[in-house]
Structures are given as structure tokens and as C-alpha cells.
Amino acid sequence: MADCGICLEALKKPVSTPCGHVHCEACLRNYIVSSNDALKSTCPTCRREFHIATPDLAVVPEKYHGFILPTIRKLYIDIPSTSKLVKKVNSLKTQVKDLSKEIDLLDERCDGLEREVQAFAEAERATRIEMRALQNEYEELSYKYDSMVALCTETHCSPGPSRSSHNNDATTSLDNAALPVQLRPKRALPKSRPHRSARHSDVPNVPLVSKRQRVSRHSDVHDIGRPPRNE
């Protein structure tokens, strides 16, 4: 319901002035009495003047009595049933409760996802550190391998990458074995590497000299920096 323009509260026993403004009956009566004018008053809201004196009906012909109306008239305002509003309020309260539960569930889910994201970030950081370490190790091994190849070239040795008789190269191969496959250095196999299949070794009449020559070349590689042996 609308509020009274004088007491600013919900209208109690509403009455209207000729200008159409509505106030509480008690509020308007107190306002008119306080003005000390028995003939006219003004609307508390719009200050429009209106008469409050009632003519003596005894001197007015009866056929005009219907036209003589009081300036202040009672109003009967139909207030809609509150049951619908109460029902709506209860429905809204239920909705609010459901939404609060949903918010709690979403909060929990959000917390879980945040924890997951944090764990993923930590794992990613650890993997990056490990990857960097492996990269450094790979670069060191590559450098070592290149140095060995250069040394072999200088000493006129065929740089066979996987000769087991080459001590340093064997160490490099072992180190590479510890690396992931994708990080191992790719080496070109020597074109002149002999096949070591059983069929080939079983072939008769292989010249003994060539075997001995190969052995002596390997011995040369072994004996770099060592005093020459007397055979």
C-alpha cells in the first residue's frame, strides 16, 4: 500500500482531498486543525487550497443536496489478498536455499580444481627442471663424443661409433644408454663396418693378415700415450 505524505508510513484509514492526494485521516485532521482556519485549508502535498466549511443544508433546497459533497472523502482501497504474495515469498526463499546449496557445491568443486591445477603446475615445473638437466647432460656427452671423434681422426683411426674395443667410446655408449632414446646422439654408422654375422665368420680362407692388421690397428688406438710394447 502507498505511504502517507505526512507521516511517511503506510496509509491508515486513507482520505483524499479534492486535488486527489491521499493521506491518513488522523494525519490530515491534525494538519487542518493546526492551521487555525475554519473555512479553508491546503493540501499538505501540493498546497492546493480547498474549502472545509459545510453549508447548512437547512437553507439549501433538497434537490441540490446530492451535489453538496464533503471536500475530504474516505477512500476504500481494495488490498489484494496477501496469500499469493506469501506463497511467492516462500517459493523465492526455497529457490534461494537451493541456490545457496549449489554455490556451496560449486565452491567445493572449485577448490578441488584449484588443488589439481596446483599439482599439475608443480609436476610441470619438476619435469622442466629434469628436462633441462637431461639437455645439459646430452650436450656434455655430445661434446665428449665430438672430441673423441676428432681425436680418432687426428690419430688416423676410423671413428667407428660403437666399437666395443674402444674404451672411451664404450663409456660414451654406456652413458648414452642411460639417456632417453630421443636424447641420444644420432651417429652415422661407418660404411666400411664389417658384418659380424656367423655366416660371414664361417667363410673359409679369410686372409689371416687382414685380421691381424685390424687387431694391430685397435691396439694402436689402445696404446695412445702408452710406451710401445715389444712383441
Judged by CB, which is closer to Zn ion: 3, or 124?
A: 3
Nearest to 185 by CA among 229, 144, 125: 144
> Per CB under 5 A, does 7 bind Zn ion?
yes
Grid cell for residue 59 = 437553507
Cα angle, residue 106 at apex, residues 101 and 111 outer, rounded to 5°? 130
Judged by CB, which is closer to Zn ion: 12, or 222?
A: 12
Are the C-beta atoms of 51 and 39 separated by less than 8 Å? yes
Instruction: Measure the CA–CA gap between 84 and 118, rounded to whole angstroms.
Output: 50
> Per CB under 5 A, does 19 bind Zn ion?
yes
Q: How far is the CB of 97 from Zn ion (least distance, A)?
A: 37
Q: How far is the CB of 51 from Zn ion (least distance, A)?
A: 14
Q: Which of residues 77-116 bind Zn ion (CB under 5 A)?
A: none
* 22-24 sheet: strands from edge to edge: 22-24, 14-16, 73-74
Q: How far is the CB of 76 from Zn ion (least distance, A)?
A: 17
Q: How far is the CB of 114 from Zn ion (least distance, A)?
A: 56
Start-to-end CA distance of the chain, whole Å, equals 124
> Per CB under 5 A, does 45 bind Zn ion?
yes
The sign one gets for the Cα dihedral 180, 182, 187, 188 is positive
* Candidate list 15, 32, 43, 157; residue touching Zn ion; CB under 5 A: 43
Q: How far is the CB of 68 from Zn ion (least distance, A)?
A: 21
Q: Which of residues 22-41 bind Zn ion (CB under 5 A)?
A: 24, 27
> Per CB under 5 A, does 21 bind Zn ion?
yes
Nearest to 152 by CA among 167, 134, 140: 167
Residues that bind Zn ion (CB under 5 A): 4, 6-7, 19, 21, 24, 27, 43, 45-46, 48
